Amino acid sequence: MARPPAEVDAGGNVAAVRTGLWQKVALFGPGLALAATSVGAGDLVSALEGAGSFGMGLVWVAVVGVVIKYVLTEASGRLQLSGPTTLMAKIASIHVGFAWLFTVAVAIMTTLYGAGLGSVAALALEMMIPGLPAVPTTIAIILVAGAIVYAGRYDFFEKYMVGFSIVMFLGVVVIAVLAAGAMEEPATIVETLTISIPGGSLPAALAMIGGVGGSATIAIYAYWVRDKGWTDLGHLAEMRKDAAVSYGAILVFVLSLSVVGTALVHGTGVTISDSAELEALGGPLAAMFGQLVRIGFFVTFFVVVFSSIAGGFNGFCYMLADCIRVVRRIPDSQADAFIAPRRPLFTAVLAFQVVAPLVIMFTGRPVQLVLAYAISGAFFLPLLVVAFLVLLSGRRVAPELRNRWPVTVVLVLSLVLFGALAISETVRRFGG
Query: What is the pLDDT confidence band of residue 16, given thresholds at 50, 70 and 90?
Result: very low
More confident residue, 211 or 351: 351
Phi, psi for residue 269 in degrees, rounded to 5: 85, -5
pLDDT value of residue 23: 61
Task: Report yes or no on whether pTM surpasses 0.85.
Answer: yes
Phi, psi for residue 116 in degrees, rounded to 5: -85, -35
Q: pLDDT by residue (tens digit) across 217-236?
A: 999 999 999 999 998 899 99
How many other β-carbons are positioned within 10 Å of the β-carbon of residue 156? 15
Q: Of all residues in the chain, what percent carry a pLDDT higher than 90?
A: 48
Superfamily of structural domain 39-431: Amino acid/polyamine transporter I (1.20.1740.10)
Phi, psi for residue 232 in degrees, rounded to 5: -150, 180
Amino acid at 415: L
pLDDT value of residue 18: 45
Nearest CA to 252 among 107, 59, 4?
A: 59
More confident residue, 45 or 432: 45
pLDDT value of residue 396: 83
pLDDT value of residue 100: 95
Q: pLDDT by residue (tens digit) across 62-76?
A: 899 999 999 999 999
* Mean pLDDT computed over 346-372: 82
Residue 11 has pLDDT above 70, yes or no: no
How many other β-carbons are positioned within 10 Å of the β-carbon of residue 20? 10
* Mean pLDDT computed over 253-270: 84
Each domain of the chain, given as residue ranges in start order, spans 39-431
Distance (Å, whole) CA 156 – CA 1: 9
Average pLDDT, the chain: 85
